[in-house]
């Protein structure tokens, strides 16, 4: 099998730090710790409900890229309206559950924000019924509706690249440092190097950083792993 194309992405933008906090001050403190190495951050539902767009705007004012991970799932008109609001804040990625009509509506409303289709959550075990087939089918439909890419675990990347090629952006959560499986709700996990080698463009990293004594040390290990993978 031909090796997937590894997209030319700045190292500081490969890892997306998930600001999974309910306290905005904790999120901002982590950003200040990481921003010498990282320029891309994810704001999820918990933090967003705590302070709306304030942290999003603060990140963008500091020159960072933002993935707004609210996983929109509503009627198409409502999803389109929500995406329109998000796009006003210069967000790079916005996530929508991978249903055809929702992706199409989101894309039409997205302006310069790229729509990522959430396929199957990484908390679902790989042994569950037809996970890989579901991811592939949902990815195919989302791309047909104009989605820029997908969110999927590292377990499905190779199949996606084989079937759908180099075009879609692949963002992969459930990234864990080498040798650290972790006892949490993430089931389909991989290392940073394995994800990039399979064809992932961006890696979402949360708990390995939010719970680390030294987040920068963890980032440096992952970035070293990514560099070795990219350089072959």
So which residues are the catalytic ones? 71
202 and 10 in contact (C-beta within 8 Å)?
Answer: no
Buried b (16+ CB within 10 A) or exposed e, 204-225: bbbebbbebeebeebbeebbeb
15 and 225 in contact (C-beta within 8 Å)?
Answer: no
Bridge partners, residue 42, by sequence: 18, 67
Which whole-number Å values give the CA distances from 172 to 121, 146, 175, in the listed order? 10, 19, 7
Contacts of residue 18, defined as CB under 8 A and 6 or more positions apart, other chains included, come to 41, 42, 44, 69, 173, 204, 205, 206, 209, 210
- Its sign, for the CA torsion 158, 164, 166, 169, is negative
| Location of structure tokens 């592939």 | 136
13 and 65 in contact (C-beta within 8 Å)?
Answer: yes
């Amino acid at each position: 099998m031909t090796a997937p194309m590894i997209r030319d992405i700045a190292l500081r933008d490969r890892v997306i730090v998930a600001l999974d906090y309910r306290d905005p001050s904790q999120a901002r403190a982590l950003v200040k710790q990481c921003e010498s190495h990282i320029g891309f951050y994810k704001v999820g539902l918990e933090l967003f409900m705590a302070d709306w767009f304030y942290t999003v705007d603060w990140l963008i004012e500091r020159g960072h890229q933002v993935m707004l991970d609210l996983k929109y799932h509503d009627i198409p008109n409502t999803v389109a309206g929500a995406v329109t609001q998000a796009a006003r804040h210069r967000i790079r990625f916005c996530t929508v559950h991978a249903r055809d009509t929702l992706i199409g509506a989101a894309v039409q409303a997205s302006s310069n924000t790229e729509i990522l289709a959430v396929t199957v959550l990484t908390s679902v075990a790989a042994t569950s019924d037809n996970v890989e087939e579901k991811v592939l089918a949902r990815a195919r439909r989302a791309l047909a509706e104009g989605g820029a890419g997908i969110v999927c675990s590292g377990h499905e990347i190779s199949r996606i690249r084989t079937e759908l090629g180099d075009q879609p952006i692949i963002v992969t959560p459930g990234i864990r440092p080498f040798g650290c499986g972790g006892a949490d709700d993430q089931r389909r996990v991989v290392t940073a190097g394995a994800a990039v080698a399979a064809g992932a463009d961006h890696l979402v990293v949360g708990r390995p950083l939010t719970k680390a004594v030294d987040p920068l040390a963890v980032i440096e290990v992952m970035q070293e792993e990514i560099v070795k993978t990219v350089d072959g």
